[in-house]
Amino acid sequence: MFKFLKEKLGLVKKEATEDKELIVDQGGFWTIRESKLTDILWDLEVSLMEADVAVDVIAEIKESLKKELVGKKLAWGANMGEAVEAALRKSVTCLLSEQSFDFDRYVAEHEKPVVVMFVGVNGTGKTTAIAKVAYRLQKMKLGVIFAAGDTFRAGAIEQISLHGDRLGIKVIKHQAGSDPAAVAYDAVEHAKARKKDVVLIDTAGRMQTNANLMDEIRKVKRVVEPDLIIFVGDSLAGNDAIEQAKAFEAAVGVDAVILTKIDADAKGGAALSIAHAIKKPIAFVSTGQEYDQFQKFDAEWMVKRIFE
């Protein structure tokens, strides 16, 4: 995301060492003045906007940089650009680390069955993300049940059934167009009867502006009282993903986030913005199409991706 800064930061050292107004004592130190950060902060703001980072997140990052750098003393001849990048890394890491959540530990320690409901809009890779979570749980030696709660979209039941066949997981399903809350209820009851550990509930990928469909998802929540609600967001969707996350948080409450297509996201804006917008942890990121291309979110890993 910040490659554009490299050239400008490289020039800062030369400019700073030639600016006699920066000398504050005879001990060989100089102080960073806010006026010297203006251009860098402006370029940073433009880059963050292009990366679909939310405006309030940009403001917070800029304010964090000012607090960290203005008045900071550097040795004479030190590279101010390196100081700015270090402060920027620290700011981004703090934003991404505000919330943390260990899904594996939660499931392992929680009373069984653990009921997890997944929400999000069409095209985010939600059903595939559910299958990846199931694959991960199977590696933990846990028994999993799928609830084919997306009875709205043509082909959705077949899609999750295909994953069920591949993974050897029972899929509780009704006919297309049936009540998704009833499907979810039956899945939970099946899990209790068969002593399964986790129920993963798919829901229709609905636009957050569709009031009727949002009411439907609220009904699913009321009926099964899920232990976790996970929002699945497309990291390429930019500000749309942020608005979707906010809408689902307002409608049903979100406990954690899965970001898909992170392997194709060279910007990192969605991770920054969603983490900040709803103040909920990013649990996992999807890094490819295979079941094992799925990993716990790690702020340091994300920062390295952003700055590489």
Average pLDDT over residues 168-194: 96
Q: Would you list the domain boundaries of the chain? A: 5-96, 103-307
Confidence of residue 31 (pLDDT cuts 50, 70, 90): confident
CA-to-CA distance for 34 and 284, rounded, in angstroms? 38
Cα–Cα distance for residue pair 215/141, rounded to 1 Å? 35
Model pLDDT for residues 216-274, shown as the tens digit of each residue = 899 999 999 999 999 999 887 777 788 888 889 988 999 999 999 887 755 667 777 78
pLDDT at 12: 46
pLDDT tens digits, one per residue of 120-133: 988 888 999 999 99
Question: According to the model, what pLDDT value does residue 277 have?
Answer: 79
The top-scoring range by mean pLDDT among 64-73, 97-106, 110-119, 258-267 is 110-119
pLDDT for 191 beyond 60 = yes
- Shared fold status for 5-96 and 103-307: no
Indicate the Cα dihedral angle 238, 241, 242, 248, nearest 10°.
Answer: 180
* Residue 67 scores a pLDDT above 70: yes
Percentage above 70 pLDDT, the chain = 82
Whether 138 shows a pLDDT value over 60: the answer reads yes
- Asked whether residue 25 carries a pLDDT value surpassing 60, the answer given is no
Is CATH 1.20.1730.10 the right assignment for the domain spanning 5-96? no
Whole-number pLDDT of residue 126: 92
Pick 61 or 12 by higher pLDDT: 61
The class that CATH gives domain 103-307 is alpha beta
* Helix or strand run (H / E) with residue 229: strand 228-234
**Residue 74 clears pLDDT 80, i.e. is over it:** no
Dihedral sign, CA of 155, 159, 165, 171? negative
The mean pLDDT of the chain is: 83
Closest CA to 291 of 135, 64, 90: 135
Length of the chain: 308
* 11 confidence band (pLDDT: 50, 70, 90): very low
